[in-house]
Amino acid sequence: MNPPTLTLSAVSHTYGRTQALRDATLSVAPGEVVAVTGPSGCGKSTLLLLAAGVLRAQSGRVTVAGTELSGVDDTARALVRRRSIGLVLQFGQLVPDLPVRDNVALPLLLEGHPAADARAAADGWLDRVGLAVGPDTLPSELSGGQAQLAAAARALVHGPALLLADEPTASLDTRSGRALLDLMLATTVAAGGAVLLVTHDNTVAARADREVRLRDGVIEHEVALS
């Protein structure tokens, strides 16, 4: 059996006096889709940011694709994020000064790919997510849903081993949301990658193999869905 792509072992995190996550233990195997659900403020997004290495776990261990993130510096965590993780956050979090196409090409550009190749790959992914933009279109010209599509293209462009998505379809209509989810799951799982979805939406959660429910920063229960 392959080792898990993502492992969280007894991970805790606090913001000031607020305990956002307590002793969370979770693993996601290659090819598996896990949905994290729970009420607002229960620690779902914190769990996702810890898995992405954006936040450093204050206690416990986070391992992504064989690298233990809690024990390495910012540079090493950034490199893991660049090479092994695709991240889709709720508002897209695109770089406002860069054209949308370059935003999507960013993980490849950072990795040192020639700009022409990176942009060609970005064009391909923009086409696949169904976002038609000009070469100089800026993120400020996109709607919330379009920004989310662009963020999804950016997360998939480098074929990540782990796709992390926080409410990836929240700004999209039902049909576009379903199409995007199909694309994200099919592409990642087909390549042997793992997916961790954070969502409020039961229809999105139902697409996962397993649901992990959080309440007040604690994993309440896990349910196999398929």
Partner 1 sequence: MKTSTAWLIGRPRTSAGRTRTLLVAGGAAVGGGLLIAAAAVLRVPAEEVRYLDGGGTVSSSSGEYSSLVVQAGLRPGVLTGILLLVLPALALAWQAVTTGSARRAAVHEGLRLSGATPADLRRVAMLEPAVAGAFGGLLAGAVYLALWLLLHVAAPASARLLPGLSPLDAVAWLVVIALSTLVGGVAGALAATPRRRRPVRAWPRLLAVGVGVLALVAAVSAPRDIDRHARSTTLLCAALVVLALGLLSTGSIWVTARARRLARSGTAVDVLAAGGLRTLAGPAGRTAGTTCVAGLVIGVVGSLTGLLLEPQHSLSESLPGILFALLAGLLAMLAAVASLVLAATDDLVTTRRAVASTAALGADPTVLEQVQRRRLAVVTTGPLLAGVLLGGLYAPGAQSPIALGTVLLTVALALLLARALAVAVTRVLRPQLARAAAPSSLRVA
Contact residues toward partner 1 (CB under 8 A) are 52, 54, 74-75, 78-79, 81-83, 85, 87, 89, 91, 93-98, 102-103, 106-107, 109-112, 115, 138, 140, 143-144, 154
CB nearer to partner 1: pick between 38 and 145: 145
CB nearer to partner 1: pick between 147 and 205: 147
C-alpha dihedral sign at 59, 62, 67, 69:
negative
CB nearer to partner 1: pick between 158 and 210: 158
What is the layout of strands, in order, in the sheet containing 162-166? 85-88, 162-166, 194-198, 33-37, 210-215, 218-224
CB nearer to partner 1: pick between 73 and 224: 73
Q: What are the beta bridge partners of residue 212?
A: 36, 222
The encoded tokens of residue 122 equal: 């970005």
